[in-house]
Amino acid sequence: MTKWRTVRVRQELVDAVEGTFDKNRYQSLSEFVSEAVQIRLDELKKDRKKMENSQKSTEYPLIQDRLLFTSKHMWALVTSEGNVRIGLSDYAQTHMEGIISVQIDPVGSEVKKEKPFGVVETWLFKFDLNSPVSGKIIKINNIIHEEPSTINKDPYETGWVAEFKPDNVIALEEELRDLMTPSQYKTWISKMKGAQIVST
């Protein structure tokens, strides 16, 4: 009885498949099934590749070649006007999931290199924003005030933090030389793999 039911179910399945595949396109049911299996295998390969890329992204944070970095996980970019745009690195934001608040010193404030000019707050802790260079705050990114999680989503573009006007060109050049290149920063964080960033 059990064997009869199994055979009947299989035959019903075959009948259903035969009723759906395009007889003008496929010469036989086996050809249809073979193509369906191949399509599914291709989908599984794509899903696996996406998963591997996602794991690599988590293991090796995004580092942009045009930026310079500090050991406090801040990045700096000299703009076409000669100012310095500053933000948090991707490595930092991955360790600060759920940013809920960003507090920055007001425009016009003088800031010294390696000194804090603001604070990022998550549900768990606060993190000082230490400036990569000395200068005056001339612009603050209002987007991160309205939506702090923008730093988590896009730390290098829409999630930038502030823009500084350097004290002078010579001093800026010296301070920039003290920062890490992308390759140096990548080596730095690889040594910190598995370690949490220092919070306040």
Quick one: pLDDT at residue 39? 72
Q: What's the pTM?
A: 0.65
Quick one: pLDDT at residue 12? 58
**Nearest-CA neighbor of 135 among 96, 157, 156, 107?**
107
Distance in angstroms (rounded) separating the CA atoms of residues 49 and 67: 28
Quick one: pLDDT at residue 123? 86
Q: What dihedral angle (degrees, nearest 10) is formed by the CA atoms of 42, 44, 45, 49?
A: 140
Quick one: pLDDT at residue 132? 95
CA angle 137, 139, 140 (to 5 degrees): 100
Element (H, E) at 177: helix 169-177
Within 13 A of 11's CA, how many CA atoms are on the CB side?
Answer: 6
Question: How far, CA to CA in Å, does 10 sit from each of 7, 17, 23, 32, 161?
Answer: 5, 11, 20, 17, 63
> pLDDT tens track of the chain, all 200 residues?
444 444 454 555 556 555 555 556 666 666 666 666 667 666 666 655 554 444 444 444 566 678 999 999 999 999 999 999 999 999 999 888 889 999 999 999 999 999 999 999 998 889 999 999 999 999 999 999 899 999 999 999 999 999 999 988 888 999 999 999 998 998 888 887 654 444 33
Contact between 103 and 75 under an 8 Å Cβ cutoff? The reply is no
